[in-house]
Structure 1
Amino acid sequence: MSSHVTTEGSADAAAAARARAVPLQHPDRLYLDGRWVEPAAASSFAIVDPATEELYYRIALAGAEDMSAAIAAARRAFDRSEWPLLAPAERADWLRKIADGLRRRAGDASELWTRQVGVLHSMSVASIERVGAHYDYYADLAADFPFEVRHQPMQGAFGSVVREPVGVVGAIVAWNTPMSLAAYKVAPALLAGCTVVLKAPPEAPGEAYVLAEVAEEIGLPAGVLNVLTADREVSEQLVRDPRVDKIAFTGSSVVGRRIASICGDRMARYTLELGGKSPAVVFDDYDLETAATLLANAECTLNGQVCSSLTRVIVSRHRHDAFAEALGAAFGAVRIGDPFDAASQLGPLAMERQRDRVEDYIAKGVAEGARLVTGGARPDGFERGFYIQPTVFAGVDNQATIAQEEIFGPVLSVIPADDEEHAIELANETVFGLNATVFTDDVDRAHRAARRLRSGTVGHNGYRTDPRMGFGGFKQSGVGREGGRDGLLPYLESKTVILDGLPTGYDPLG
């Protein structure tokens, strides 16, 4: 049974945080064409604090007319303003201003993140403080990224390959890490010279609004960044509109497939960062207790609501029972508590429907014959809040529902393998391919396994990601990459230019 944390100091800190006013200037408006405007129709969405189930605030919901206005603003800014014609170094200056502004607002953004989706405040503070670095990273790329490369053509005197902005970008982000997800899209898009319509998730719109307030504060040219919150129907309008050249989406694979089909019908560009059912392969030379502790700690991140979570743990059959017990003991000892309590290791799930979803999957696991090692229910002592116990299943068949479908909650499945070859087969036996890791003391063995795992990222002895190296998935985990130099390419189109002479004052860096 997971322990319940409540301390007098932490209760005071949580009460103080919840007593503060919502740190947003215009939650009742939309940021369109450089101005805060009221939605055309009075409509709003209620954001509920997942730790208390109480109303936090309401956000304006955009309708069809508002979405059309946002797209029109972005289209004008791309077609008629100087923005796409600026030198990359000039746009980089704007990115650095955004980074500085976000650092100034880090406290507000981290509080919003915790209040909206229940992420531990200790984690939200550390993560939000790093968001500005994403914008700085892309600003730094302006110095040496090959936006234009000169060639000697077979015919003609001068040739170059120019990478130009793709155009208007519709950026759609998920509710679990909205500020980071927005940065992975907005920063490269702006550096490339694109204009953006950022569609915030109704469940967690606050961080996108902080970004909009920073854009207004620094005087970002009108229409370059437009921010609104919308439901699924209006969001699909963004995907369908022919004035939008590219969609950048993070969310479920089900929605991603629909976006791909719509974009394919009109030949729009798209990148998709989708779901996962990521394996952790524990080889026989690695200490079971250490692996169990590392995996239990990693699964506490965002309370298990991470697309790249290592939720399928594959271990040799002869070590399966011992490992399942070790993992159950480590995960079952995790301290559940208020996300503002510094002693908490696991907070609530983001919303009631998410807890219902996790509970449904736990019931399916039991019904399909997996053995429940720990958890599986709502924790004692929490009359309010969308809490669920950290849960471990053992003896899970790799074809079982809980082994194949993304749960998006703190639920781990231990799967037995006959040998190393079988473990790799099991790891790859999924429609997903977002993340993976290999636990072994032999780095050469880890490298061999990494090359065989069909996954966008493969780590060694723990959960590993590095946004500067790029992030994305194989198979139904997505299309394209976000972060790093590869994350800039989807926002650019290549153009071949062949001339009979050298242009006057030619400078490939502009």
Structure 2
Amino acid sequence: MTIQNPAIAEWRMLIDGELVPSSSGAVFDNINPATDEVIGVTADGTPEDFDRAIAAARRAFDQTDWPRDHALRARCIRQLKDALVRHAEIIRPLLVAEVGTPIWLTRDTLFDVPVEKLEHYAHLAETYRFDDELEDVDFRGFVSRRRIRYEPVGVVAGIIPWNGPWGSGLGKIGPALASGSTIILKPSPDAPWMGTIVGKLIKEETDIPAGVVNIVTASDNFAGVVLTTDPRVDMIAFTGSAPNGRKVAEAASGTLKRMLLELGGKSAFIVLRSADVAEQAALAAKTICANAGQGCVARSRLLLPRESYEAGIAAAKAQMDAISVGDPQDPQNFMGPLNSRHHRARVLNYIERALADGNRLVRGGKVPESKPTGSFIEPTLFADVKPDDTIAQEEIFGPVLAVIPYDTEEEALQIANNSIYGLSAQVAAGTNEEAYEFAKKLRTGTVSINNGTWMHMDVPFGGFKQSGIGRQYGRQGFEAYLEIKVLGIPSGAESRTLKWGEIERKADTESVSA
């Protein structure tokens, strides 16, 4: 793809209110995974660039009124939202070009939904009760009023992945700004323009003060170490794989930073006997191909009752056979490529491991012969997968569905919960009540019942077990960016000095009386 509007396809970083190149002058290529073409370059930030960004964020938080000006924060968030809406049709093909996601998804969770979520955070900046009160307390004969203040956490480092950069990026910028915090956002080198485009719009079309938002791009992973270990950073908001989340947690523990970790998943799609097994199996096969399976909530394990097992596999295969794979800019194509050649190699390696484990390859499993260019892979279906096999336990992050049979619902529940992850799940049954009763027993953060959706701006999204720490989005996700301060105030008009001797004498008197 040739970039049509280089003015929007910004390559510079936003540091302390200015769009700047790397201090080294270096850039790295942004590659279209559908064509292998270089669509542009991005500034390759250095440790010095990150140091300047952290210093700017620290100064903006400590030395300006940003943390206390609620009206300014709400206005700035809405300005950013409005700018993104104005430029949406220019941004949309750039998102497709750097991520490889099909363009139809940009009108859903990959762009339009996260942009709309900014209004939710603007509303919270205006209406959240940042100053609240508790009941008065009588402590040793002295009555005090008590207040709770919810204050911004400080300087936030946001580290985001390539598979859904706009959702992850705006999902960190929004609550950080609404809370009164400042932020350094580090996009993935495999999808850097999400950050640089936002930086350009912040600079040119909003009143966000210098240093409040800093966006630094880099091709090297050193950035994560810098951000997670620097004592000037108060909080890490990370979205990525569980192995990388463990590294972030370990590095951040040295300064006991607040951490919000949204990590991986190995979600199960459980079809109970009372459901239409063929219909639900086909749905599972289709949804694993959305964004080429590159989603943390992707239902990559399909659990089918044994008596309907082969019928379900046949329906899943028929659905995958019908999936249109090709140019993600073409709205007729349901699935585009994987994000990069190196990620495709990782997915192909998992397919080889599945074959070595004796899993039955029903379809797919290779690069399409008609698409030697780009990072395409065929929708892939494996059957006869055992619950402890590699492809049933590890996050593949590709269009690979593992079908597992079960004999009883108790066994289905055990298989579904047999994972280090607990991010999401889907349950299908003949009635909503039956599916709901089963869903209550799942150890996951979100569950879709009979194709119902939980996704909206008010949802606290996150998972159990090694799928993360804390929740993103919604009121609870916003509160992750707040510190709690409790104040005790004398209830009378004038303060009173209470000497320790008075407390001791009063305590002695109460003890004798008792």
Q: Give the alignment's TM-score, normalised by structure 2.
A: 0.91
- Structure 1 CA distance for aligned equivalents of residues 493 and 326 of structure 2: 66
Q: How does 1:216-231 map to 2 (within 5 A)?
A: 216=203, 217-230=205-218, 231=220
Deviation at 1:465, TM superposition (A): 4.0
| Of 68-77 and 434-443, the range deviating more from structure 2 | 434-443
Contact 2:263 2:296 in 1 (8 A): yes
Quote the residue 1:118 is aligned against.
Answer: 100
Quote the residue 1:413 is aligned against.
Answer: 402
- Structure 1 CA distance for aligned equivalents of residues 34 and 10 of structure 2: 24
Distance change >3 Å, CA 414–CA 502, structure 1 → 2:
farther
Contact 1:291 1:461 in 2 (8 A): no
Quote the residue 2:477 is aligned against.
Answer: 487
Distance change >3 Å, CA 19–CA 210, structure 1 → 2:
closer
Quote the residue 1:9 is aligned against.
Answer: none
Quote the residue 1:299 is aligned against.
Answer: 288
Distance change >3 Å, CA 296–CA 426, structure 1 → 2:
same
Distance change >3 Å, CA 42–CA 159, structure 1 → 2:
same
Deviation at 1:501, TM superposition (A): 4.4
Q: How does 1:205-284 map to 2 (within 5 A)?
A: 205-216=192-203, 217-230=205-218, 231-284=220-273
- Structure 2 CA distance for aligned equivalents of residues 286 and 346 of structure 1: 27
Distance change >3 Å, CA 390–CA 405, structure 1 → 2:
same
Quote the residue 1:58 is aligned against.
Answer: 41
- Structure 1 CA distance for aligned equivalents of residues 492 and 86 of structure 2: 46
Quote the residue 1:334 is aligned against.
Answer: 323
Deviation at 1:197, TM superposition (A): 0.3
Query: SS state of the match for residue 18, structure 1?
Result: coil
Q: How does 1:88-487 map to 2 (within 5 A)?
A: 89-126=71-108, 127-154=110-137, 155=139, 156-216=143-203, 217-230=205-218, 231-462=220-451, 464-467=453-456, 468-487=458-477
Contact 1:332 1:391 in 2 (8 A): no
Quote the residue 1:76 is aligned against.
Answer: 59
Q: Which has the higher contact order (CA 8 A, sep 6+)?
A: 1
- Structure 2 CA distance for aligned equivalents of residues 20 and 193 of structure 1: 36
Quote the residue 1:39 is aligned against.
Answer: 22
2:69 matches 1:86: yes
- Structure 2 CA distance for aligned equivalents of residues 393 and 199 of structure 1: 36
Deviation at 1:19, TM superposition (A): 5.4
The structure with more radius of gyration: 2
Contact 2:229 2:254 in 1 (8 A): no
Distance change >3 Å, CA 25–CA 349, structure 1 → 2:
closer
Task: Deviation per CA, 1:90-140: give whole Å up to 9, x if none.
Answer: 311211111111111212321121101211112224442333211101112
- Structure 2 CA distance for aligned equivalents of residues 210 and 345 of structure 1: 26
2:10 matches 1:20: no
Unmatched tracts of structure 1, length 5 or more: 1-16, 505-510
- Structure 1 CA distance for aligned equivalents of residues 16 and 127 of structure 2: 31
| Of 336-345 and 76-85, the range deviating more from structure 2 | 336-345
The one-letter amino acid paired with 1:96 is R
The one-letter amino acid paired with 2:188 is P
Contact 1:111 1:121 in 2 (8 A): yes
Query: SS state of the match for residue 473, structure 2?
Result: coil
Deviation at 1:453, TM superposition (A): 0.3
Deviation at 1:461, TM superposition (A): 2.2
Distance change >3 Å, CA 50–CA 25, structure 1 → 2:
closer
Contact 1:359 1:376 in 2 (8 A): yes
Contact 1:370 1:396 in 2 (8 A): yes
Distance change >3 Å, CA 299–CA 503, structure 1 → 2:
farther
The one-letter amino acid paired with 1:66 is D
Query: SS state of the match for residue 358, structure 2?
Result: coil
Distance change >3 Å, CA 55–CA 161, structure 1 → 2:
same
| Of 139-148 and 42-51, the range deviating more from structure 2 | 139-148
Contact 1:312 1:412 in 2 (8 A): yes
Deviation at 1:489, TM superposition (A): 1.1
- Structure 2 CA distance for aligned equivalents of residues 312 and 204 of structure 1: 27
Contact 2:265 2:467 in 1 (8 A): yes
- Structure 2 CA distance for aligned equivalents of residues 291 and 251 of structure 1: 29
Once superposed, what is the RMSD of the aligned Cα atoms?
A: 1.7
Task: Deviation per CA, 1:440-475: give whole Å up to 9, x if none.
Answer: 122111111111100010111237441421211111
Contact 1:314 1:423 in 2 (8 A): yes
Contact 2:15 2:52 in 1 (8 A): yes
- Structure 1 CA distance for aligned equivalents of residues 408 and 68 of structure 2: 58
Contact 1:310 1:463 in 2 (8 A): no
Contact 2:5 2:90 in 1 (8 A): no
| Of 75-84 and 443-452, the range deviating more from structure 2 | 443-452
- Structure 2 CA distance for aligned equivalents of residues 487 and 455 of structure 1: 17
Contact 1:48 1:55 in 2 (8 A): yes
Distance change >3 Å, CA 184–CA 452, structure 1 → 2:
same
Deviation at 1:402, TM superposition (A): 0.6
Contact 1:437 1:463 in 2 (8 A): no
Q: Give the alignment's TM-score, normalised by structure 1.
A: 0.92
The one-letter amino acid paired with 1:408 is F
Query: SS state of the match for residue 349, structure 1?
Result: coil
Contact 1:295 1:462 in 2 (8 A): no
Contact 1:465 1:471 in 2 (8 A): no
Contact 2:281 2:302 in 1 (8 A): no
Task: Give the total of aligned pairs.
Answer: 486
Contact 2:269 2:299 in 1 (8 A): yes
Moved over 4 A (4+): 501-504
Deviation at 1:26, TM superposition (A): 4.0
